[in-house]
Structure 1
Amino acid sequence: MTDFLAPQHYLPHEAPMCLLESVVAVEQESAHCRVTVRNPGVLAPFLDAEGNLPGWFAIELIAQTVGVWSGWHAKKNGEEESLVGMLLGGRGIRCPAGIFPQGTLLECHVTLLMRDEKIGSFEGQILADGNVLASGRVNTYQPDNNELKQLF
């Protein structure tokens, strides 16, 4: 079994924008991360008055799990820095309840569908107690250093 660092070691995010608390698994074509909806906690700045996380955060939780997947593989391949990836968009992102309830442990899973040098597509699910709370597909773009310089 592999020991994993905290998500921020694989993501180019700083608090409060790193929305994941732990990395459970990273494999060749998948990743699994966790976060609990609670105050205090990493999600605290984004909770509503009842302590729930709005459902539209599903796309970012899935995208950050993709980022952990990418960052872990980059570190495994000897790259020093976490690569900046860009979320191009999501398809079929659903969170039927509209919220992630206070106190819920969210299990964020992504599976690689397709990838080339720059573009990736991942299927994501967010589960709690084995039930799917949110799902959808995200498409990502991996810019090179020249493209990053032009953008920023």
Structure 2
Amino acid sequence: MTPFSSPGAYLPHRAPMILLEEVVAVSAEQATCRSRVSLQGVLAPFITQEKTLPGWYALELMAQTVGVWNGWHTQQREGCAPALGMILGARNLTTTHPFFNLGDCLDIQISLLMQDGRMASFDADIVIEGVCVAQGRINTYQPNDNELAYFFKEETTQ
């Protein structure tokens, strides 16, 4: 098995916005990444005063795992730098935990359901010690350079 680079090698993010610690696996239609809820890890800036990570971070963890999948494939195919992707929406996103506790090791797993051009849909799960604690369907869009320029153009004052 080929070792993978850190998640930041496949994402267009910079710390502290990289929420994944490790790329475990990437295949044609799946990816698994991992993060530990820790005061010393990448999730530390987002841990509450109660020493928990809110459960709604599940969506971003899932989306970043999709980004790792896409970034890895883009590097393999084209040798290009990671590109910005967008979450179009999430369906049936549920979590059995309102928060994740210190010490929880989160295994984030995504599976490609459908890809049509620059749009794709993935099933995603977060597993702690073999138990699925969050799941949902993530719909994504990969904007091209012209669209990104339009989205991020600066407002001009008159």
TM-score range, shorter chain: over 0.9
1:145 aligns with: 145
Q: Is structure 2 residue 8 aligned with structure 1 residue 8? A: yes
Could you tell me which residue of structure 1 aligns to residue 29 of structure 2? 29
Encode CA deviations 1:47-86: one digit per residue, 9 max, x unaligned.
Answer: 1112211000000000000000000000001232101100
**What SS does the corresponding residue of 2:73 show, helix, strand or coil?**
helix
1 CA distance for matches of 2:148 and 2:45? 29
Q: Which runs of 4+ in 1 moved over 3 A?
A: none
CA displacement, residues 93-113 of structure 1 (integer Å, 9 cap, x when unaligned): 111221111101100000000
Alignment of 1:46-65 (within 5 A): 46-65=46-65
Deviation digits for residues 20-51 of structure 1 (CA, Å, limit 9, x no counterpart) = 00000000000000000000111011111122
CA-atom RMSD in angstroms: 0.8
**Which residue number in structure 1 is paired with residue 97 of structure 2?**
97
- Range with greater deviation from structure 2 (73-82 or 18-27): 73-82
Question: What CA distance in whole angstroms lies between the structure 1 residues aligned with 2:18 and 2:93?
Answer: 20
CA distance, structure 1, for counterparts of residue 8 and residue 51 of structure 2: 24
Query: Is the 1:11–1:64 contact (alpha carbons within 8 Å) kept by the matching residues of 2?
Result: yes
Q: TM-score scaled by structure 1? A: 0.98
Whether the 8 Å contact between 1:16 and 1:45 is mirrored in structure 2 is yes
Q: CA deviation at 1:140?
A: 0.3
Q: Distance in 2 between matches of 1:134 and 1:109?
A: 10
Does the 8 Å CA contact 1:100/1:133 hold for their aligned counterparts? no
Q: Does 1:123 align with 2:123?
A: yes
State the distance in 2 between where 1:96 and 1:128 align: 11
Distance 1:21 1:107 in 2: 10
Same amino acid, percent of matched pairs: 49
Match of 2:82 in 1: 82
Aligned residues: 152
Contact 1:36 1:103 in 2 (8 A): yes
Task: Tell me which moved more, 19-28 or 83-92.
Answer: 83-92
CA contact (8 A) 1:124 1:137 kept: yes
Identify unmatched segments of 5+ residues in structure 1.
Answer: none
Q: Which residue of 1 aligns with 2:69?
A: 69
